[in-house]
Structure 1
């Protein structure tokens, strides 16, 4: 059921319970590690959040309870707990009704196209005539996509929604609605849960996306958050990764490798310097390029489009495979990460293989390259290479030598 929520926090926005949830206990097989800081960026120029260094040996986590049904879902099986046990030990969330009411209060009402939202068995939305639905779901798994030592709950919520928004942008679509399924660890606190939704809802507001429902359960293991976004695109204006043709020019937006650099800085454990701020923010709070995706669609500039989530080398390989073509890219044209005061070591490797940039990679037919702006709303657009008929991707070094460029970004199934 789209609207079945099994948690109901009595986590009013005025609650001041500290977040003392246990940090992840294992290393990350993806891009995270056990090291780093839970520091979130300051909310304003004058407000800074103190660093979190984990619970003391004597502290006891404020755990999340099971809902009023007194049934927990743990690893696919249910078991019964007494109401007295949960309320005495957890005292955070009480009934499903309270949680739905709290969450509904955080979501603006009267959104265009929304007939029924949170609180019913399902959401009903209206799609405008002449438009198609764009649907995308992405999971964020603790220990794979985030760790509690590195990522604040606000960042976890932001990043989870940003991933799906970026995919809608890569189709040339406009995101409209979101559904969330949350399997939350029993060690999470009400402050952690509240901040997670705060991060997600803040980004949703920025892009006029309405949260219309979802599902929530308590699990004994790690937290898993699944976000589905429904968007729309005008019929005939949708973009795909399969449209590139030989001779098309290859472009990317923004700077690549900043997120990977930000994660490296967070994992280092050292206090960030002012020059680190851009890279750290790029990792913790990525900016989906929805406006650019719509622009490329409406101006009919892009022949193919994909977002860069797994790394330029991997996502360019995806685009070429889908289009049945190859590519040559110039190393000296790839916009790697930069420090305001100096060079970043291994900048090219970070740009090629770092991932989680959520920039857009697109191809443009030769006759339309003159219409591509140098900047789109202060976002630089860089031409980095050309689509070729022969299969495979080649990287051309500054000295003119070309070497095969394999997909070196992230792959969930790689051993």
Structure 2
């Protein structure tokens, strides 16, 4: 029999307390105006806004979502003891079965290649003949990849899926299916949980990705979300980091440093201005470059490809190390933020080391550079350097001076 999940009457979901996440009532955590909030994509008037997730959320109760095989557990304490301790103050919120039904209803049925999805012990999918699987998993950890003060639950869900989609794009693949493993903090509310999945499912729909299952637990500590994406790539068309050769030209898509700038703006606590919108959206809702990855694969333009997740300096180092070569990068060609950034000490530093841009960094053989478009759809493509035979990377300044450029982006083991 499915367990009941309990909610304290003090929670705004079970009382008449106002929803403080509504900027029309008291202002969102990012101090956005009532109209044109920078924190989330437009939503219908009937869709419930997320509950407040600020410091007062510590008093919120345990909630368990279910995805795929149904599991329910609380790490570090007995569920029965917790239930007995709070019996006088708790009311029924939701059962596991109800949540499975809700989640299944959000996922399109009859997807190509999907035989069994959410609700069984596992998912069964088909891979088309002549294609290979592309598999990628990424964790999003509260306090490392997101904070409740800065990131809305929709943004957390969107960003978690976007990270894995970007890696599939960097292989020239097409993402097809996703699995989620969620260790959710006991302070989370039902509204926070549903908004997290809403953000993830909205991005999945945009890229025709089907959520097919996963696992869930409630923990006393911080929330951890792991997303695995399964994609496919036509045999012989897959792209790697290791294909760059001396003489190849280095390109990058979009603009770099916007996400890092957006994070600084959000953490500053000041009211966002219209000119901040691009950077804030780049951080909260990054756009995986899946179509560009497929284009480079299909046209056989790229000799090597990697996504810019840890920062240009670090991911460029990964590409060079895998290919066994070096590079020269021209500082004045690196596409950084293009709007006024007087409050930012060094926009080039953000472009080189900021990270979480999820643009694509790729190399092109000299004989194919004429085939690289200036723009792919609405996305600019910039030539920023060239591959050299000698090891090491040099950053060339506008005055012609060259300095070594080491990896300065994010590294979990250096923190």
Q: TM-score range by the shorter chain?
A: 0.7 to 0.9
Alignment of 1:394-409 (within 5 A): 394-409=394-409
- The number of residues matched between the two structures is 415
- 1:99, distance to aligned residue in structure 2 (A): 1.7
**2:374 equivalent in structure 1:** 374
How far apart are residue 96 of structure 1 and its match?
A: 2.3
C-alpha distance in structure 2 between counterparts of 1:307 and 1:144, whole Å: 20
Query: What is the CA–CA distance in structure 1 between the aligned matches of 2:218 and 2:92, rounded to whole Å?
Result: 13
Find the aligned partners of 1:56 and 1:188 in 2 and give their Cα distance: 11
Question: 1:3-402 counterparts in 2 under 5 A?
Answer: 39-40=39-40, 42-43=42-43, 54=54, 73-75=73-75, 80-81=80-81, 83=83, 89=89, 91=91, 93-339=93-339, 345-402=345-402
Q: How far off its partner does 1:58 sit?
A: 11
Q: Matches of 2:326 and 2:239 in 1, distance apart? A: 19
Calculate the TM-score normalised by the size of structure 1. 0.86
Q: Which stretches in structure 2 are left out of the alignment for 5+ residues?
A: none
User: Take 1:332 and 1:301, find their aligned partners in 2: how far apart are those partners?
Assistant: 24
State the Cα deviation string for residues 305-328 of structure 1 (Å, max 9, x = none): 000000000000000000000000
Distance 1:223 1:144 in 2: 10
Q: Distance in 2 between matches of 1:5 and 1:133?
A: 38
Q: How big is the shift at 1:379? A: 0.1
Question: How many Å separate the matches in 1 of 2:9 and 2:227?
Answer: 20
| Paired residues of 1:64 and 1:187 also in contact (CA < 8 A) | no
Q: CA RMSD in A?
A: 5.8
- Give the distance between the partners of 2:134 and 2:15, measured in 1 at CA: 37
- Is contact 1:161–1:227 with CA below 8 Å preserved after alignment? yes
Partners of 1:178 and 1:210 within 8 A in 2: yes
Question: SS of the residue aligned with 1:362?
Answer: strand
Higher deviation after alignment, 287-296 or 97-106:
97-106
Deviation at 1:93, TM superposition (A): 4.8
Compared CA separation, residues 379 and 11, structure 1 to 2 (3 A): farther
Decide whether aligned partners of structure 1 residues 52 and 65 sit closer, same or farther in structure 2, where only a CA change above 3 A counts. Answer: closer
Question: Is the CA contact 1:23–1:149 (under 8 Å) kept in the aligned structure 2?
Answer: no
**1:27: Cα distance to partner?**
23
State which drifts further: 329-338 or 18-27. 18-27
- The answer on whether the counterparts of 2:66 and 2:215 sit within 8 Å (CA) in structure 1 is no
**Cα separation, 2, equivalents of 1:73 and 1:288:** 34
Give the distance between the partners of 1:13 and 1:25, measured in 2 at CA.
16
Which structure 1 residue ranges, 5 or more long, are not aligned? none
* Aligned 8 A contact 1:35 1:268 in 2: no
Shift, 1:208, TM fit: 0.2
